[in-house]
Amino acid sequence: MSQPFLHVPHAELDARVARARAALRAANLDALLIFGQESHYYLTGFDTGGYVFFQVAVLTAVDTPIVLLTRRPDLIQAQRTSIIGDIRLWFDAEGKNPGDDLRDILAEKGLRGARVGIELNTHGLTGFNHERARQALDGFCTLSDGSMIVRRLRLVKSPLELGFVRKAAALADQALLAMIDAIKPGALEGDISAACLGAILGGGGDMPPAGPLLNSGERALYGRSVCGPRRLQATDQVVMEYAATYCRYNACMEHTVLIGPLDPRHRRMFEASRQALADMVDAAKPGRPLGLIDEAHRRVYDTWGYQKARFSACGYSLGATYRPLWMDTPPMLYAGNPMPAEPGMVLFLHAMLGDAESGLAFGIGRTIVITASGAEVLSKLPVELNVKA
């Protein structure tokens, strides 16, 4: 069957599946229940939004065909975007528990009494669906958390994946230029968000899995987006954080634009943030704990006297993700995180300040790739202070 939307060669997908099976055996698991859409995409190419319902793939530690259990609207999509050959359907009905269908699949595969991993740390498995699966499998097999089996494999990107990330980073640069151009007194925050998405989609990218996060005025202090349009004033601050996306792979940017006369306190925030970001990039080296990145972030901001205004973490891993987040965690970048950086990891580093007393905010952030000797910043744009009259 034609697979026009399979973006990764069969050979690379087969190798990923083989590594996942090896990871299952190393964890003494007989199978993995894959609920994370990111895992589906990584292992098989399957690309859908149907993860909002009960959707699961069964991957065994031995070499048997992957079985997907999904709903009818995802059937053709699964056939044409993935390497999955065995697709089972469950149908909506009053009192229906698709966990029963899952149990039948496991029985077919001889997994009664087996140790089975289940992806718990994913938006693809709600508490309601976890309970349905647990009830159906109670007494049939032993379930244990297998959230990190595929997650760990996804952290280090292949050359093909890094190519997707680089295309996303180029789109992120285009989006930033479009957003800066759209910022002016009287503009709606939505005008700036529209410029961002127009540059990404018009440049051949995909709709990002979230955002853009764009807050102005006192809302620039917020770490999340809020509803309701705000119009920019003659003196204002605009903090933007967003992902550009290509083949589901994300590259993030954070940037601040000021409008009107420059407040010296804003300039000081910029200087501290620029130094923090530079030191964070310098701390990101293969073999060193990821926690050192946040230690550099804290050290710079605390030296400048911004301990109360800074955040308690300074970034996170990026990869191919689905709604509701572009964050691909774990890992988060927090002081004390012992996970070593590895070549091929893609991380978003952000230096953010929100001073509730003054009402001033500032943030900058860039996506990096860990290399054999250090870190490469993917953006080609300079880290500079943008002030618009």
Distance set, CA 360 to CA 219, 256, 293 (Å):
10, 11, 25
> Using one digit for the tens of pLDDT, what is the confidence trace for 207-258?
999 989 999 999 999 988 889 989 999 999 999 999 999 999 999 999 999 9
Contacts of 118 (CB under 8 A, 6+ apart): 32, 33, 35, 125, 130, 133, 143, 144, 145, 146
> Using one digit for the tens of pLDDT, what is the confidence trace for 314-370?
999 999 999 999 999 999 999 999 999 999 999 999 999 999 999 999 999 999 999
Residue 229 has what pLDDT?
86
- Cα angle for residues 346, 350, 351 (degrees, 5° grid): 155
Tell which residue, 252, 272, 183, 270, has the closest CA to residue 212.
Answer: 252
Judge whether residue 297 has pLDDT over 80: yes
Task: Assess contact for 205 and 175: CB atoms under 8 A.
Answer: no
Give the other-Cβ count within 10 Å of 257's Cβ: 22
> Using one digit for the tens of pLDDT, what is the confidence trace for 91-138?
999 999 999 999 999 999 999 999 999 999 999 999 999 999 999 999
d(CA 259, CA 238): 8
Domains and CATH numbers, the chain: 10-154 (3.40.350.10), 159-388 (3.90.230.10)
Q: What is the pTM of this model?
A: 0.96
Helix, strand or coil, per DSSP, at residue 353: strand
CA atoms within 13 A on the CB side of 152: 13
- DSSP letter for 337, please: -
> Using one digit for the tens of pLDDT, what is the confidence trace for 274-290?
999 999 999 999 999 99
Cis peptide before 159 (omega within 30 of 0): no
Judge whether residue 4 has pLDDT over 90: no
Look up residue 104 and give its amino acid.
D
Judge whether residue 2 has pLDDT over 60: no
d(CA 295, CA 349): 12
> What six digits make up the tokens of 2?
């034609």
Q: Rounded to 10 degrees, what is the CA torsion of 121, 124, 130, 134?
A: -90
Model confidence at 25, pLDDT cuts 50, 70, 90, reads: very high
Contacts of 288 (CB under 8 A, 6+ apart): 340, 341
